A and B are shown apart, each in its own frame.
Chain A
């Protein structure tokens, strides 16, 4: 009987000593395989008397069970060890930097962002977006807008000209987006509600003037719109754009050849530590020009000024952008310095909406 006990000791010791799954399998074959030591013991049962078979059989089968359990347990341990070893071998340095993806690197220029903001605001008030060419005729840029040929008012605009064409007329770079208003009135019957954003040009350059800049103008023509409506639209626009609860505006009588009455609009603000806050404070900042479309302009565009009326306004997009987002030098807008663009630009999916808030 000692040989069963010995075999058990030997087998269990061999299982415990198996260093990997292959060694364990060898032990299993050596004990439980066809020619294994335990299998050999089992084979002796046939030759035993029934009494012996009963007692010996139980012992040998117990040994077999024990061996199988031990092998299974050892296999678990070995598999776990092997996995741990693999995982350990697969370890990487997760602190290594990854490359920034397109959506992290890309930027929308602040001017484009603000144009999208303006579109969202004015579309909600029923304005569509009208555009026109940058190279314009003198007629659309000045004459139809009630600038007399010689009038000093023209000198308020430092105009870029092209050499005269075959017809002797010289084209120019539009000094405002007002020619788009003319084009709209000439082609579209009232009621009209449009904004005209775009590039404009004046022969001027310093910290706050660049030879190219961006402007948005608004135009409403129908049979009832008056300066009270103009005030409301500008107030709503400024509140929505600067994302403040209220703005206080001051309308000052002014002069533009294409509007009568004309006004300049100041907005109340607080200047503090280089920041400008609207809706509070005691300072005034001139922000835009506006007025009722001049009867001569309506007439020049084929509209009867006794029947149709409406307002127009114009504001610098670059300036609005600077005021809202805090840039100090206009020239930097056009220098394409990647550092500036990355800092002041907007992320690709920062899409301004009224539902979600213009600036998120």
Chain B
């Protein structure tokens, strides 16, 4: 919403400065988003007289002008404008002046060898128009030395308000003045609207054609004919005002409707009466009808939209935009002025469906003052008669402008209850009254009548806001929120704690946390397990590559790794802890902790290194990451199964699934499948893991925080190494489990210290070196006992895995 200071002063008698007006507007909720004060910007541009303009000695297109600036001796200015000529009155800027359009401060110059002490200006240079063709030409009587903007009346400050959708009353300058007056910044001085008796009956018959259930679509429709008008340009002051707020003057009749839209938040429409065929009817549009609107576009209509139609069809789209055919031009002699009330929801729907944003729609969908519909028509009539002459008819009215007055019961205590503010009954009454409310006492409460222009006021809380915003939100004193007694209790849930801990744990392993989009492309979503039923595809994605909700964090991370590699950073280790989407309902959203390593980004450090540990990342690096993560999160991994093989996007031979059982999968790890990398256009090697934090079992609840008692033995542990021959395909994990199972009490650790295939080991077999640590419990083990246990280990290993001791 734009207005100028002088326009505001049509309605507000005030001695307040521009600064005070701007500050007050923001303070009462009409936030000033932008202030354009041409007086400040153009204060150094003065009217000057070109005493003499001579050709430049060294340049055909330049002239050397002697300019009388009204101060001191004439100055010499080099000017390139074709219209710089002797005797011209124009606008001059001295060195040191800031030129808005060029964003420079003018200096003294020498142009082609001739000194130039200033500039003669075009309107474009002052940001007054796009006219670059030459310097400004002023009439002969323009006073030399005067500030140009002031003399030309171009110094009216333009205030732009960021109007909130609830304040339809402030979509008119009169309403803004009322708010400022209520805030104590002056008094309203708007004269009452006079009613004009018509001289004749309107010849057109006007009807509302709606079934009863649709009556709300057009509660009021009124028309007046003014015949014998002479249309043409509107007065200069009106054109200046419209231009100042960014509107283009068209002709007097149209300008009047635009003027009242902004002056009074009352949109009107004017038809050229001679172009209306027969009678006018307000009705729902019919399927197949269309309208060539005033913006030159043709819109298809449907029965959800309301139109004003004549015998030939729709002439105007109710409350949104008029039609081109019956629009007013300079030739119009008889004009029909329309005022109406429309259903806000219907106007919003029509505007949205057709993609039309107009000043009329803006006001109708937020709610216009129903009580001003007919006065608005009177005001328009007055202006038409004033600017264009003619003779006004009676007003033809369909429907009713009467709206029920609303009264709210308001306990005076409510303001303090919701804001903590103490505003006295008297002051509250005064504020409400100045805003146009009526206040009647009703015991401890008040009965507050809501003015017709405030459809946003629904209840007590709205009245509290009115009182508080005028009294000033800055008068509300901060009050400490009572604290809970004692030490603050923990507030995080297990999942929240694990989410936080997962981030720290993975970062501590050298992975860098990324936050990637929640959406990925359809191809990526499907490559990472999303079903192709489109349930998780956006209906209105912002871009094709951001179309589907991600089923995994991997596509985002893998493509990010690819981008980093392309940028010259091939060895990245990235992770993300965030939501993935496996279904559109609440339960389908999970938190995943996912990480990847690319190139040489090993857990021991990234990149190649002189120490010779150089090798590319692989499945075991991410297995270590995944297991470390589980450890950090306090997940008991006793029952954890690592099952070879994983989802389709991982290397089938270099991936595994982490689970506590076939139906309790918690994640997976492995090297990325070469085909998936190819599809994502990312070069490997990349290894990754993904753990679903929601799937992790909760720790067992215990009555105290005490840890399990530590049992230490004074007896020396014994270590024994075994070399087993195992089928190549037989998982070492099975061998470890078998060895462990030989004696759960004595065997405290089983580790694999060597894997070997090659000469000395039969084809299809592998040699697995296993170190077993025995911890005697109550007495030292004898050699015989150790031998017996070793034998049992070999037997168990053989039985469960087919392993044989290597000869």
A positions within 8 Å CB-CB of B: 96-97, 99-109, 111-112, 116, 119, 123-129, 131-135, 148-153, 155-156, 160-163, 165, 170-171, 173, 199, 201, 203-205, 211-212, 220, 225-229, 231-233, 235, 250-255, 260-264, 292, 294-295, 305, 309, 333-339, 341-342, 345, 347-349, 351
Chain B residue at minimum C-beta to C-beta distance from A102: B510
A254 touches B604 (CB 8 A): no
- What are 6 A-B residue pairs whose CB atoms fall within 8 Å in the complex? A134-B589, A211-B546, A231-B477, A261-B419, A264-B31, A292-B464
Could you say which residues of chain A place their CB within 8 Å of the CB of B579? 134, 199
Chain B nearest Cβ from A326, distance in angstroms: 18
Contact B461 A295 (CB under 8 A): yes
Q: Which of A133, A225, A336 has the most CB of B within 10 A?
A: A336
Is the pair B476, A231 in contact by a Cβ cutoff of 8 Å?
yes
Partner of B28, one of A227, A253, A338, A351: A253
Cα–Cα distance between A84 and B699 once the two chains are bound (Å): 57
Closest to A265 in B: B473
**Beta-carbon contact of B349 and A150 below 8 Å:** yes
Among A109, A165, A220, A261, contact of B461 (Cβ-Cβ < 8 Å): A261
Q: Which 4 A-B pairs have the closest CB atoms?
A: A99-B605, A253-B29, A228-B420, A102-B510
Contact A235 B478 (CB under 8 A): yes
Which residue from chain A places its CB closest to the CB of B351 in the assembled complex?
A: A152
Q: How far is the CB of B206 from chain A (nearest CB, A)?
A: 27
B365 on the interface (CB 8 Å rule)? yes
Contact between chains at A294 and B461 (CB < 8 Å): yes
User: CB distance A253 to B539 under 8 Å?
Assistant: no
| Docked complex Cα distance between A160 and B546 (Å) | 11
State how many angstroms separate the Cβ of B606 from the closest Cβ of chain A.
Answer: 6
A333 adjacent to B469 (CB under 8 Å): no
For chain B residues 315-367, which have a beta carbon within 8 Å of chain A? Answer: 344-345, 348-349, 352, 365-366
A133 contacts B418, CB within 8 Å?
no
Q: Which residue on chain B has the smallest CB distance to residue A115?
A: B500
Known A-B contacts A199-B518, A203-B542, A341-B513; the reply to A292 vs B418 at CB < 8 A is yes
B666 within 8 A of A: no
In contact, A226 and B509 (Cβ under 8 angstroms)? no
Question: Are B481 and A212 closer than 8 Å at their CB atoms?
Answer: no
- A residues in contact with B479, CB < 8 Å: 226, 228-229, 231-232
Asked if B348 and A309 sit within 8 Å, CB to CB, the answer is no
Q: With contacts A119-B491, A336-B515 known, what are 8 further pairs, Cβ within 8 A?
A: A106-B511, A127-B491, A135-B585, A135-B588, A152-B365, A227-B419, A260-B465, A338-B569
A257 to chain B, nearest CB (A): 8
Selected from A109, A162, A255, the residue in CB contact (under 8 A) with B539 is A162
Min CB distance, A289 to chain B, in Å?
A: 11
Contact of B474 among A131, A205, A251 (CB under 8 A): A251
Closest chain B residue, CB of each to CB of A156? B165
A126-B483 in contact (CB<8A): yes
Q: Identify the B interface with A (CB < 8 A).
A: 26-29, 31, 164-167, 344-345, 348-349, 352, 365-366, 416-421, 459-462, 464-465, 468-469, 473-474, 476-481, 483-484, 488, 490-493, 496, 500, 503-504, 506-519, 534-542, 546, 549, 556-557, 560, 563-564, 567, 569, 572-574, 577-579, 581, 584-586, 588-589, 603-607, 609-611, 613
| Chain B neighbourhood of A148, CB < 8 A | 345
User: Quick one: which of A116, A123, A171, A229 contacts B488, CB cutoff 8 A?
Assistant: A123
Q: A305 to B513, alpha carbons, bound, how many Å?
A: 43
Closest chain A residue to B569, Cβ basis: A338
Complex CA distance for A294 and B167, rounded to whole angstroms: 17
Whether B165 and A226, one on each chain, are in contact in the complex, defined by CB atoms closer than 8 angstroms, is no
Whether B488 contacts A161 by the Cβ 8 Å rule is no
Cβ–Cβ contact B584 & A99, under 8 A:
no
Minimal Cβ-Cβ distance residue in B for A170: B539
Known A163-B534, A255-B164, A295-B459; contact A107-B556, beta-carbon cutoff 8 A: no
Residues of A within 8 Å of B164, CB to CB, are 254-255
Q: Report whether A105 and B573 are in contact in the complex, using a CB–CB cutoff of 8 Å.
A: yes
Q: Are B507 and A333 in contact (CB under 8 A)?
A: no
Would A232 and B481 be within 8 Å (CB), given that A133-B589, A171-B584, A201-B518 are in contact? yes
Task: Tell me whether B418 and A261 are in contact (CB under 8 A).
Answer: yes
Q: Known contacts being A235-B478, A345-B512, is A309 close to B417, with CB within 8 Å?
A: yes
**Shortest beta-carbon distance from B178 to chain A in Å:** 15
For A160, give its contact among B419, B491, B541 (CB under 8 Å): B541
Contact A232 B480 (CB under 8 A): yes
From residue A332, how far is it (CB to closest CB) to chain B in Å?
11
C-alpha spacing A31/B481, complex, angstroms:
96
Which residue of A has the minimal Cβ distance to B549? A135
Contact residues in B for A151 (Cβ distance below 8 Å): 165, 348
Contacts A102-B509, A150-B345, A225-B481; is A348 near B504 (CB within 8 Å)? yes
Question: Which residues in A have their C-beta under 8 angstroms from that of B513?
Answer: 106-109, 112, 341, 345
Complex CA distance for A149 and B469, rounded to whole angstroms:
28
Q: Do the beta carbons of A106 and B481 come within 8 Å of each other?
A: no
- By the criterion CB–CB under 8 Å, are A261 and B464 in contact? yes
Closest Cβ–Cβ distance, residue A186 to chain B (whole Å): 13
Question: B515 contacts which chain A residues (CB < 8 A)?
Answer: 109, 111-112, 333-334, 336
Pick from B345, B459, B540: contact of A203, CB below 8 A. B540
Nearest Cβ on chain B to A259's Cβ, whole angstroms: 9
Option from A127, A173, A254, A337 in Cβ contact (under 8 Å) with B564: A337
Chain A residues in 8 Å Cβ range of B31: 252, 254, 264
A220, A341, A349 interface centre (most CB from chain B within 10 Å): A341
Contacting residue for B508 out of A102, A127, A162, CB 8 A: A102
Check B540–A338 contact: CB distance below 8 A.
no
**Residue in contact with B503 in the complex, picked from A108, A128, A205, A294, CB distance below 8 Å:** A108
Q: How far is the CB of A154 from chain B (nearest CB, A)?
A: 9
A346 CA / B366 CA spacing, docked (Å): 47
Determine whether the beta carbon of B556 is less than 8 Å from that of A336: yes
Which chain B positions have C-beta within 8 A of A160?
Answer: 538-542
Interface pair B537/A107, CB less than 8 Å apart = no
In the complex, are the beta carbons of A250 and B542 less than 8 A apart? Answer: no
Least CB separation from B481: chain A residue? A229
Q: Write the chain B residue with the least CB distance to A233.
A: B481
Among A212, A262, A335, which residue has its beta carbon within 8 angstroms of that of B518?
A: A212
Enumerate chain A residues within 8 angstroms of B492, measured Cβ to Cβ: 119, 123, 128-129
Given known A-B contacts A226-B418, A250-B474, A336 and B563 have beta carbons under 8 A apart? yes
Q: Are B512 and A255 in contact (CB under 8 A)?
A: no
Residue of A nearest to B610 (CB): A96
Q: B588 to chain A: which residues have CB within 8 Å?
A: 135
Residue of A116, A124, A132, A264 ringed by the most chain B CB atoms within 10 A: A264
The chain B residue with its CB closest to the CB of A260 is B461
B residues within 8 A CB of A260? 459, 461-462, 464-465
With A and B bound together, what is the CA distance between A128 and B164 in angstroms?
A: 32
Question: Quick check: B484 and A126 within 8 Å, CB to CB?
Answer: yes
Q: Is the CB of B586 within 8 A of A133?
A: yes
Assembly CA distance A136 to B496 (angstroms): 20
Q: Which listed residue (A129, A295, A348) contacts B460, Cβ 8 A?
A: A295
Q: A116-B500, A152-B366 are in contact. Are A105 and B478 (CB under 8 A)?
A: no
Say whether B589 contacts A102, CB under 8 Å. Answer: no
Q: In the docked arrangement, what's the CA distance between A261 and B503, Å?
A: 39
* A96 to B589 Cα, complex, angstroms: 48
- Of A104, A127, A261, the residue contacting B469 (CB under 8 A) is A261
Q: Which residue of A lies closest to B31 (CB)?
A: A252
Checking B165, B589, B610 against A152 with a beta-carbon cut-off of 8 angstroms, the contacting residue is B165
Chain A: CB-nearest residue to B571: A338
Distance of B228 from chain A, by nearest CB (Å): 40
Q: A102-B603, A108-B504 are in contact. Are A227 and B418 (CB under 8 A)?
A: yes
